[in-house]
Amino acid sequence: MTNSPLEALLNKMSSMQEKAYCVFEYAKTSLVTVVQRHFRTNFRKEPPHRHNISRWVKQFQDTGCLCKNKSPRRKETKPEVIERISDSFLRSPSKSTRRAGAELAVPYTTAWRVLRKRLQFKPYRYQMWSRL
């Protein structure tokens, strides 16, 4: 019976129980090869790579948890900055976001994001047309 690639991948992935087992076995023996041997006999499957076991032990020592680290989120824009950007564009709405960013000492991407997402400004510039 052949396994699909997805089944093979799922068999390789370690559950939280298996990770915890590896960390506690390492605490007892301090040898990764012994941890792998005990893992193989206990769970009846291929043990995790030694680098993974070492990484889990280090993570547990550093954080006290085997949970996945949350990815860093974008920092929230301070209300003072939002207010400064809003005031700047209420005074001169045709100003570019790059110019506003330079004047207010904030990245232009921050100015653009505040205008679009918080203040619901649309990218539109008035233009003078000559009559033909």
Q: Check residue 79 and give its pLDDT.
A: 92
Q: Look at residue 13 in the predicted model and tell me its pLDDT.
A: 72
pTM over 0.95: no
Q: Could you tell me which residues come within 8 angstroms of residue 100 by beta carbon, excluding any fewer than 6 positions away?
A: 85, 88, 89, 108, 111
Q: Could you report the average pLDDT of every consecutive run of 10 residues in the chain (132 residues)?
A: 63 82 94 95 92 93 82 81 90 86 92 87 63 64
What pLDDT is recorded for position 9?
Answer: 60
Helices (H), 1-132: 5-12, 16-29, 32-43, 50-63, 79-91, 97-104, 108-113
Distance CA 39, CA 22 (A): 7
How far is the C-alpha of 83 from the C-alpha of 98, rounded, in Å? 17
At 52, list the tokens: 């993974």
